[in-house]
With several copies, the nearest count.
Chain A
Amino acid sequence: MTTMLHLVNKSPFERNNLDSCLRLAKSGSAVLLLEDGVFAAMNNAAYADAVKGRMGDLKFYVLGPDVSARGLDDTPLIDGINVVDYGGFVDLVAEHDVAQSWL
């Protein structure tokens, strides 16, 4: 069994990409939220419960540069989501056997 990194770059309010990722990501996988996908990391937003529901068996990361660009540095993120920069993104890709983009 390989270890997987799932990449989600679309807003969970706009599209179903994250829904599908959460439905199909195996327990133990990692999920990196980037671009408009970072909105899924907002603690006080309606989508937070879907992410929190998988915090136990998936590891969540969010791309800091995309968080800052969208003005969310002042907005609480879900506890336990790790913020990474592009270097951290690269490390995640290297540490997992496969990167799957949910386009």
Chain B
Amino acid sequence: MEPWEEDGPEVVKRFMYVNRKAPYGTIYALECLEVVLIAAAFDQDVSVVFADDGVFQIKKNQDTTAIGMKNFSNTYRALDDYDVEKIYVEQESLDARGLTADDLIIPVEVLNAESLSEIMAQQDVVISS
């Protein structure tokens, strides 16, 4: 029996939220962030991944004035206040886009694909959007 199959408040599962889409072009980035902020209240083990175009979600200097949409990039800074501290970015995704960790609005752990795949394989629930 796995630990999370026991009843009781001590059940802790590892939840991973995987972001592969750019912000603004679609709403998935924003609505996934809304899930993560709620999830943080559940005392589970939460991690957030940014890979592929998902890395643009936390690109610095977003200015949405001229497209008339809400700039929600600062909300990622709140993840730390919500005790969401496991934030992973795939190195290969940054490289392909000519970006580095310095371009990102929050401190993250940059991992290569192989290391990231190890962490993905340790999750209990993976939610992607």
Contact = CB atoms under 8 A, between A and B. Distances in A.
Q: Do chains A and B touch in the complex (CB under 8 A)?
A: yes
Interface of A: 1-2, 4, 9-11, 13-14, 16-17, 20, 23-26, 29, 35-36, 39, 42-46, 64-66, 68-75, 85-86, 97-103
A46 to B, nearest CB: 4
Given A35-B24, A101-B128, A68 B64 contact: yes
Nearest to A13: B53
Contacts of A13: 52-53, 96-97
A11 B25 contact: yes
A74 B125 contact: no
B22 interface: yes
Interface of B: 18, 20-26, 28, 51-53, 56, 59-67, 69, 71, 73, 90, 92, 95-99, 103, 113, 116-118, 120-126, 128-129
Given A23-B92, A24-B116, A65-B66, A74 B60 contact: yes
